Amino acid sequence: MEDVDLTLKCIVVGNGAVGKTSLITRFVKGEYTDEYKKTIGTDFLETEFYSESADEEVTLHLWDTAGQEVFSTITRSYYRGSALCILAFSTVDRASFDAIKKWMSRVEEECGPIPMVIMQNKIDLLTDSSEVSLVDGDALAKELDLPIVRTCVKDERGVKELFDTLVSTYFDLKADQEALEVIKGRAIDEEEEDESKPETAGKKRRSRKEDIKDMKKSDSTLSRDKKRTVKSLAEGLDLTPEVKEKRNKFDDDHQVIDWW
């Protein structure tokens, strides 16, 4: 475990009455009440948490957000800067389950692809006729490629496991990103080292010489083509005998060779 003071902002989103406030209160204060109190805007609690899976201790700033649409403009402004997110729905509320994709999109619009975990709450009320089954939850988790944790906040069932999964997901993603940066850094170093090698530089010099040679060859070809054109024009003229005699005499005196 690293001895660092890491603070992570975590938002809990989802429709109203799915257990968001109860989750945070139970996790931080160890308290629970059956009395439902609508969250107006946002609420905030702080706690330290040790993740056994990640072997890391962090400080969590937990933001409880209102689930009603009337507060959406207010609550979305509090999403920014979040490092973690819990997408909550209730086993006995199909509408809350169907809204998970909407909540996920809203968070990603403000925060980007941060680590998220789906929470299926009120699992104690699960029956064969429940509005949301275990199969439904698993299918959604697979579709969104997110982990899902079943909870009963009332009995404190799965609460610690939920946050442990979320924090460990954060550190797994962080490790992947760091590994990717190392790979990129090595690739850049190897490229710079390769460019500084004499044999590599020599290859580049030879390449430039070849380019110059090709340019000269091209100029020579162009000059030769011009001479051919001049000769063709000259031979096509209807020269007088006197001019022809003078040209022949000039060629003999100067040993002109028609190299073309």
**Percentage of the chain exceeding pLDDT 90:** 54
Distance CA 15, CA 119 (A): 12
**What is the tens place of the pLDDT at every residue in 232-246?**
434 444 445 665 565
Comparing CA positions, the residue from 80, 77, 72, 76 lying closest to residue 16 is 72
Q: State mean pLDDT over 28-45.
A: 77
**What is the tens place of the pLDDT at every residue in 174-200?**
999 898 888 888 877 777 676 666 665
Say if residues 33 and 19 touch (Cβ distance below 8 Å). Answer: no
**What is the tens place of the pLDDT at every residue in 120-173?**
999 999 999 999 999 999 999 999 999 999 999 999 999 999 999 999 999 999
Query: Is the pTM value of this prediction over 0.75?
Result: no
- Between 2 and 44, whose confidence is greater? 44
Dihedral (CA of 223, 228, 233, 237) sign? positive
Q: What token pair was written down for 128?
A: 């064969």
**What is the tens place of the pLDDT at every residue in 42-86?**
788 999 999 999 999 999 999 988 766 555 666 778 898 999 999
Distance CA 153, CA 210 (A): 76
Q: Which pLDDT does position 110 carry in this prediction? A: 92
Q: State mean pLDDT over 84-105.
A: 97
